[in-house]
Structure 1
Amino acid sequence: MKAWRLLLTRPAEESQALAQTLAEVGVYGASLPLLEIEPLPVSEANRSIIYDLAAYCAVIVVSKPAARLGLAMLDEVWPQPPMQKWFTVGAATAQILDDYGLHVFFPEHGDDSEALLDLPQFQQAVSGYDPKVLIMRGEEGRELLAERLRERGVMVDYLPLYRRHLPQYPAFVLPDTVKAERLNGLVVSSGQGFEHLREL
């Protein structure tokens, strides 16, 4: 069997980290990011959300870019962040928040919205009177989490921090990369990334 030579399509920084991990087990990875993270301008409405952060019983951070950009906003406003609980879907995003010193939880079994909703610490956080949750995310995203929370009587606000788009590439960059790097597989980690793959 031929050794795997994979096309990696995550944002550039994540693709580099994945390529290093794959190299350690003898798998070659060539990067062609299909998602580029563009931070959104900080509006007054978003800044006021950060000022009012203590009003939320829980903060959900849905991605690593949201974690990094959200923490940057936190640094501008809060010398010491409020002590509410923070939640993520995955361990990698949780690690960014934990390194910052926040009290963060994530589901150890499962990596989706449903697993987060079933997390005992999360259920406890939203069990009080008139619960209010903030979701830090990109400009667009799944609505399932907010819908389920609202069904339970939880007020939900969004803090959009970035947008994701397809980087600009010359024509035929995909087949040219596959041929030049002699690739025999690819890794696509999101629905939006798959849509961008079809556009190339």
Structure 2
Amino acid sequence: MKGFEPAIIVTRPTGQARRLTELIQAATQAVYPSVRMVSLPLLTIIPKNDFALLTQLRTALQRSTLIIFVSPNAIECAMRAVDDANSSWGQLVNPGVKIGVVGQSSQEALIRHGLTKASILVPAHDESDSEGLWRVLQSKITDWPKESVLIIKGEGGRETLIEQLRSVGAGLEIVSIYSRVPLDLASPLWQSCTELDPLHTLWTLTSSEAVRHLGERCKEVNRIPRLAIENSSALCSHANIAYAAQQIGFRNISVCEPRDESISQSAAAWLVEQVKRFP
């Protein structure tokens, strides 16, 4: 297959990209062994662990009846903060506390940290967003003013869920446990993407915010080399991300479940079609 050099770009933050990259490599190996894997962390997650935040988190965990994590990042940063406070989840959280997450990836992250699947409220696979979680919570909780709700999140985002909780009179506390830093538009990491053949390149996109930042880079038509995505494929882990990808110029877009296994399997399916099309 001379001239055929397929590439898959993983756009997750560096700490989260490893497992997904390994799964994609394993899934695609049997299809075509020479796939180029490119890491382009569009966002960097910066955990917060100052003394004031650790104190706030510790107190909030102890009095909460419902804890909502908005992302795997929120889980990892919170668990790290608990460790930094020389404590443990079991010591801080009351027995029977309800745990809510937006998607399957967050559920899996909590299970890896020792929580049981039965203790986690999560939307169905096809409803993995804040609206889906809200429907689940409404089916489980009827007396919201009696609930002490803690939302653990990054700076910005997820305002809809916060507004819904306030509208039903829930006691609400919000802890922003991390910040997101976009990849510098002048970073040399962009260079590796400009060297790829767009027709044989798949972008794995798992964050709407990251997609919007990618769009900012693509707008810089005067920057050399230029980053063009119009002829590339985009694999998105949610319909909202797919919409964001369409807005910045992707034309060939597919959507899969947000689980790493689903993303890797969908990437392998994309590669199968590439191999068929370019024998």
Same fold (TM over 0.5): yes
The answer to whether residue 123 in structure 2 is matched with residue 143 in structure 1 is no
RMSD: 2.7
Any idea what SS the aligned residue of 1:33 has?
A: coil
TM-score (norm 1): 0.83
* 1:35/1:165 contact within 8 Å kept: yes
* 1:66/1:161 contact within 8 Å kept: yes
The answer to whether residue 193 in structure 2 is matched with residue 178 in structure 1 is yes
| Amino acid corresponding to residue 78 of structure 2 in structure 1 | G
TM-score (norm 2): 0.62
* 1:34/1:196 contact within 8 Å kept: yes
> Which of these residues, 120, 130, 135, is aligned with residue 118 of structure 1?
135
| Amino acid corresponding to residue 113 of structure 1 in structure 2 | S
> Which of these residues, 43, 50, 54, is aligned with residue 62 of structure 2?
54
> Which of these residues, 6, 14, 22, is aligned with residue 8 of structure 2?
6
Which residue is 2:123 aligned to? 107
Superimposed CA distance per residue, residues 118-170 of structure 1 (whole angstroms, 9 cap, x where no aligned partner): 116x6434636522210001011120001011111112211111001123464
Which residue is 1:191 aligned to? 208
Shift in Å, 1:181: 4.3
Q: Within 2, Cα distance between the matches of 1:16 and 1:74?
A: 23
Which residue is 2:45 aligned to? 37
Q: Within 2, Cα distance between the matches of 1:56 and 1:155?
A: 9
Any idea what SS the aligned residue of 1:118 has?
A: helix
Query: Residue 126 and residue 57 in structure 1: after superposition, are their counterparts in 2 closer, same or farther (change >3 A)?
Result: farther
Query: Residue 62 and residue 171 in structure 1: after superposition, are their counterparts in 2 closer, same or farther (change >3 A)?
Result: closer
Q: Within 2, Cα distance between the matches of 1:125 and 1:29?
A: 45
Q: Following superposition of structure 1 onto structure 2, how do residues 12-31 of structure 1 map, counting pairs within 5 Å?
A: 12-26=14-28, 28-31=36-39
Moved more, 154-163 or 98-107: 98-107
The answer to whether residue 81 in structure 2 is matched with residue 73 in structure 1 is yes
Q: Within 2, Cα distance between the matches of 1:171 and 1:87?
A: 37
Work out which structure has the larger RCO, using CA pairs closer than 8 Å and 6 or more positions apart in sequence. 1
* 2:43/2:181 contact within 8 Å kept: yes
Shift in Å, 1:28: 4.4
Which residue is 1:82 aligned to? 94
Which residue is 2:110 aligned to? 97
Shift in Å, 1:45: 5.3
Shift in Å, 1:33: 0.7
* 1:22/1:28 contact within 8 Å kept: no
Superimposed CA distance per residue, residues 162-200 of structure 1 (whole angstroms, 9 cap, x where no aligned partner): 0011234645643x3124344523222222112221333
* 1:135/1:159 contact within 8 Å kept: yes
Moved more, 127-136 or 179-188: 179-188
Superimposed CA distance per residue, residues 101-125 of structure 1 (whole angstroms, 9 cap, x where no aligned partner): 33322112310011111116x6434
| Amino acid corresponding to residue 38 of structure 1 in structure 2 | I
Higher helix share: 2
Query: Residue 128 and residue 54 in structure 1: after superposition, are their counterparts in 2 closer, same or farther (change >3 A)?
Result: farther
Q: Within 2, Cα distance between the matches of 1:149 and 1:17?
A: 34
Shift in Å, 1:3: 7.1
* 1:19/1:28 contact within 8 Å kept: no
Q: Which has the larger radius of gyration?
A: 2
* 1:63/1:137 contact within 8 Å kept: yes
| Amino acid corresponding to residue 209 of structure 2 in structure 1 | Q
